[in-house]
């Protein structure tokens, strides 16, 4: 099997100290390999969002080691100085609500990520169109977010997450706001992205109707992980 794109070794995260200390993650070890869609389940307060934010290099762990795309990025401290650049280069984010910029068209919402990465306007526009075509929503490229259906908006959000060709996709409840049919379509698209782009996709969800779409499922409870 190819080297894991996400590898966590004994990762822990606590907030506060003394009597006020909360252990959100307790020695979590996890691997996500290319071409795999992995589900992360657990009750509210179990640490799922904290884990996603740690892997996304948004929240700093308290202990352990983390490797992303073969590079060690955390070992008791961050080993990369520019975490913003790391996120742009390696990680795509998908959320429960699409979070598209309401004053930009679908195509512009995808292209803006490329602009932030320094890609020229013509190339950014070409890549945005290519991604919308790939996700079968190119015909909505000039539509504003308010004019998109929930499923269309989530497809555009997935296109935006793929803009910089990240190998790691982190999705936080991506189907929670969708009905069963649209949720299934979104999960099928994530499976397609994982296989064809050889990406590793980690999905936090409570959505029982999509459990059968995962290659592997982990459960978090009180900050501890079990398969």
| Whole-angstrom distance, CA of residue 96 vs CA of residue 127 | 24
pTM attached to this predicted model? 0.86
| Whole-angstrom distance, CA of residue 210 vs CA of residue 199 | 19
Q: For the domain bounded by 37-62+82-226, which CATH number is listed?
A: 3.40.50.300
State the pLDDT at residue 196: 87
Q: What is the pLDDT of residues 64-117, one digit of tens each?
A: 999 999 899 999 999 988 898 888 888 988 877 778 889 999 999 999 888 888
Strand 63-68's sheet: what is its strand order? 22-32, 6-15, 63-68, 71-75
Q: What is the pLDDT of residues 122-138, one digit of tens each?
A: 989 999 998 898 888 89
Q: What is the pLDDT of residues 158-170, one digit of tens each?
A: 888 888 888 999 9
CA distances from 124 to 100, 168, 202 (A): 17, 20, 26
Band (63; pLDDT cuts 50, 70, 90) = very high
Mean per-residue pLDDT, 152-161: 87
State the pLDDT at residue 227: 66
Q: What is the pLDDT of residues 134-150, one digit of tens each?
A: 888 899 999 999 999 88
How is the chain split into domains, by residue range? 37-62+82-226
Closest CA to 131 of 103, 160, 154: 160
Average pLDDT, the chain: 88
Chain centroid, CA 219 distance in Å: 17
Map residue 186 onto helix, strand or coil.
helix
State the pLDDT at residue 1: 60
CA distances from 225 to 42, 143, 173, 191, 218 (A): 9, 42, 18, 23, 7
């Amino acid at each position: 099997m190819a080297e894991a794109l996400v590898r966590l070794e004994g990762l822990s995260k606590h907030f506060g100290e003394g009597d006020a200390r909360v252990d959100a993650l307790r020695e979590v070890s996890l691997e996500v390999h290319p071409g795999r869609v992995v589900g992360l389940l657990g009750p509210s307060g179990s640490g799922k969002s904290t884990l996603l934010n740690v892997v996304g290099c948004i929240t700093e762990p308290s202990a352990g080691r983390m490797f992303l795309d073969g590079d060690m990025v955390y070992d008791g401290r961050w080993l990369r100085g520019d975490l913003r650049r790391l996120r742009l280069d390696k990680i795509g984010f998908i959320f429960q609500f699409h979070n598209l910029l309401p004053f930009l068209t679908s195509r512009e919402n995808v292209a803006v990520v490329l602009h932030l990465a320094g890609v020229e306007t013509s190339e950014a526009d070409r890549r945005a169109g290519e991604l919308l075509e790939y996700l079968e929503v190119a015909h909505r490229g000039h539509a504003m977010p308010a004019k998109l259906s929930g499923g269309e908006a989530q497809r555009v959000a997935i296109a935006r997450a793929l803009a910089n060709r990240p190998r790691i996709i982190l999705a936080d409840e991506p189907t929670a706001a969708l009905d069963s049919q649209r949720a299934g379509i979104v999960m099928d698209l994530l499976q397609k992205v994982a296989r064809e782009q050889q990406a590793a996709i980690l999905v936090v969800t409570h959505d029982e109707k999509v459990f059968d779409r995962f290659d592997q499922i982990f459960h978090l409870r009180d900050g501890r992980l079990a398969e």
